[in-house]
Amino acid sequence: MSLLHSLARALDRVSPAPIAYAHCDIPCGIYDPHHAQLAAHTVVRMVDLINQLEKPGPNATAEQRQEYTNKLTRYIATKEQHSEIAKSELRILWADYFKPDHLKTFPELHDTMWKALKTASKARQEINLQAAEDLLKATNDVASMFWKTKGFETITAKAPYPTERQTVYPKFK
Work out which of 61, 62, 95, 101 binds another protein, going by CB under 8 A: 101
Using CB under 8 A as the binding rule, whether residue 10 contacts another protein is answered as no
What is the nearest approach in angstroms of another protein to the Cβ of residue 172?
12
DSSP codes joined into one string, 126-158: S--HHHHHHHHHHHHHHHHHHHHHTT--EEEEE
Q: In three state form, how does the secondary structure of 57-117 look?
A: CCCCCHHHHHHHHHHHHHHHHHHHHHHHHHHHHHHHHHHHHCCHHHHHHCCCHHHHHHHHH
The span from the CA of 105 to the CA of 64, in Å, is 55
Choose the stretch contacting another protein; rule: CB under 8 A; options: 11-19, 42-50, 62-70, 87-95: 11-19
Using CB under 8 A as the binding rule, whether residue 8 contacts another protein is answered as yes
Tell me the backbone φ, ψ of residue 155, rounded to 5 degrees: -120, 155
Mask of contacts with another protein, 130-159, x by CB under 8 A? ------------------xxxx--------
Using CB under 8 A as the binding rule, whether residue 99 contacts another protein is answered as yes
| Closer residue to another protein, CB minimum distance, 68 or 97 | 97
Using CB under 8 A as the binding rule, whether residue 20 contacts another protein is answered as yes
Mask of contacts with another protein, 103-132, x by CB under 8 A? -xx---------------------------
Choose the stretch contacting another protein; rule: CB under 8 A; options: 12-20, 67-75, 126-134, 161-169: 12-20
Q: What is the DSSP letter of 168?
A: E
User: CA nearest 139: which of 94, 75, 99, 97?
Assistant: 94
**Is the bond preceding 170 in cis, omega lying within 30 degrees of 0?**
no
Q: Where does this chain bind another protein (CB under 8 A)?
A: 1-2, 4-5, 8-9, 11-12, 16-26, 28, 99, 101-102, 104-105, 148-151
